[in-house]
Amino acid sequence: MSKYLGIDSSTQSMTGLIIDTANERIAVEESVVFDAHFKSTYSIENGVLELGEAQVHSVPLMWAEALDLLLSTLRDKGIDLGEISAIAGSGQQHGTVYFNEGAAAALDNLKPAYPLIDQIGNIFSRSTAPIWMDTSTTAQCAEIEQGVGGRQALLELTGNTAFERFSGPQIRKFAQLEPAAYGHTTNIGLVSSYIASLLCGKLAPVDPGDGSGTNMMDIKTRQWSPLALAATAAGLEKKLRPIQASGQPLGPLSPYFVERYGFAPDCAVLPFSGDNPCSLIGLGLVEPGQVALSLGTSDTLFACMDAPRISLKGEGAVFASPDDIHYMALICFLNGSLAREAVRDQYGLDWAGFTQALNRTAPGNQGGLMLPYFAPEIVPRVSTPGIVRHHLDPQDARANVRALIEAQALSSKIHCEWMEVPTRALYVTGGASANSEILQIFASVHNCPVQRFETTNSAALGAALRAAHTHHNDSGKQRTWKEVVAPFTQPLPGSTIRPDPAAVAVYDALLPQYRALEEKHTA
pLDDT digits (tens, 9 = 90+) for 220-261: 999 999 999 999 999 999 999 999 999 999 999 999 999 999
How confident is the model over 203-232, as a mean pLDDT? 98
What is the average per-residue pLDDT within 407-427? 95
**How confident is the model over 82-116, as pLDDT tens digits?**
999 999 999 999 999 999 999 999 999 999 999 99
Tell me, yes or no, whether 258 and 341 share the same domain.
Answer: no
Looking at the structure of the chain, the number of domains it has is 2
Output the CA torsion sign for 156, 162, 168, 172.
positive
Percent of the chain with pLDDT over 70: 100
Quote the percentage of the chain above a pLDDT of 90: 95
Q: Regarding beta strands 25-33 and 13-20, do their DSSP bridges make them parallel or antiparallel, or are they unpaired?
A: antiparallel
What is the rounded average pLDDT of the residues 122-135? 97
Band the pLDDT of 478: cuts 50, 70, 90: confident
Q: 428 lies in which domain range?
A: 284-454+493-523
Split at pLDDT 50, 70, 90, the class of 187 is: very high
How many Cβ atoms from other residues are within 10 Å of residue 446's Cβ?
A: 24
Q: What is the pLDDT of residue 455?
A: 78
Boundary residue ending a domain (277, 304, 325): 277
pLDDT digits (tens, 9 = 90+) for 422-437: 899 999 999 899 999 9
> Does residue 467 belong to any structural domain of this protein?
no
Pair (205, 333) in one structural domain = no
Q: Final residue of a domain: which of 250, 277, 304?
A: 277
DSSP 382: B
Average pLDDT of the segment spanning 147-160: 97
Q: What is the pTM of this model?
A: 0.94
Higher-pLDDT residue of 296 and 201 is 201
Residues, the chain: 523
pLDDT of residue 31: 97
Regarding whether 202 and 181 lie in a shared domain, the answer is: yes
Task: Estimate the crossing angle of helix 501-522 against helix 436-446, to 10 degrees.
Answer: 80
In the Cβ-directed half-sphere of 496, how many Cα atoms lie within 13 Å?
Answer: 7
- Kindly report the average pLDDT of the chain as a whole number: 96
Structure confidence at residue 373 as a pLDDT band (50, 70, 90): very high
Task: Give the pLDDT band of residue 367 (cuts 50, 70, 90).
Answer: very high
Query: Is residue 175 domain-shared with residue 311, that is, in the same domain?
Result: no
- Angle of helix 458-474 relative to helix 275-282, nearest 10 degrees? 70
User: What's the pLDDT score for residue 191?
Assistant: 98
Cα-only R_g, the chain: 23
**Which of helix, strand or coil describes residue 236?**
helix
For residue 121, what pLDDT band results from cuts at 50, 70 and 90?
Answer: very high
Question: Do 322 and 233 have their domain in common?
Answer: no
In a domain, 463, yes or no: no
**Predicted pLDDT of residue 18:** 98
Q: Same domain for 383 and 273?
A: no
Residue 1 has pLDDT above 80, yes or no: no
> Looking at residue 37, what is its pLDDT?
98
Residue 485, domain member (yes or no): no
H or E element in which residue 70 lies: helix 60-76
One domain for residues 81 and 24 = yes
Same domain assignment for residues 273 and 294: no
On whether residue 477 sits in a domain, the answer given is no
State the pLDDT at residue 80: 97
How high is the pLDDT of residue 313? 86
Measured between alpha carbons, how far is 73 from 31 in angstroms, rounded to an integer? 9
**CATH of residue 416:** 3.30.420.40
